[in-house]
Amino acid sequence: MATDDLTTEEIGTRLVGYASQMAALTARFLELLAEFDRRGGWSGEGIMSCAHWLTWRTGLSIRTAQEHLRIAHALPELPLLRQAFTEGRLSYSKVRALTRVATPEREEELLNVALSATASQVERLVQSIRNVDRHKDESERGTIDSSSSWSWNFDGSLSVKLRLSPLDGARFLAGVVRAEYERTRAAGDPDLPTEPAPDEDAPDVTKKSPGHPGSADLWRNVPSDIAPAVVAMGDTMQSTISVPEFVPGAELVVHTHDDADPHLDDGPALEDAEVDEAACGGAVRKVKHGKKRKGARGIVLNYGRKRRMPTRKVMRVLFERDRCCQHPGCGRTRHLHAHHVQFWSQDGPTNPDNLILLCSAHHRALHRGEFAIKAHGRQQFSFHRPDGSTIERAPAVHKPEGWQPDTAIDDAAVLPISPGRHLDAGYATEVLYAAWAWKARQSDADLAAA
Q: According to the model, what pLDDT value does residue 22 have?
A: 92
CA–CA distance, 374 with 381 (Å, rounded to integer):
6
- List beta partners, residue 302: 288
Give Cβ neighbours of residue 306 (< 8 Å, ≥ 6 apart): 251, 283, 284, 285
pLDDT at 199: 53
Backbone angles phi, psi at 301, to 5 degrees: -90, -30
Asked whether the CA dihedral 30, 31, 37, 41 is positive or negative, the reply is negative
pTM: predicted TM-score of the whole model, two decimal places: 0.64
Ranges of the chain with pLDDT below 50: 194-197, 202-203, 205-219, 246-251, 296, 300-307
The alpha helices in 225-359, defined as continuous H runs, are 227-240, 272-281, 312-322
Give the pLDDT confidence score for residue 217 in this predicted structure: 44
End-to-end CA distance of the chain: 64
Predicted pLDDT of residue 306: 46
Return all residues near 435 (Cβ < 8 A) that are at least 6 apart: 109
Residue 13, Cβ neighbours under 10 Å: how many?
14
The confidence score (pLDDT) of residue 303 equals 41
Q: What are the b/e assignments for 412-434, b being 16+ CB within 10 Å?
A: ebbbbeeeeeebebeebbeebbe
Please tell me the predicted confidence (pLDDT) of residue 85: 95
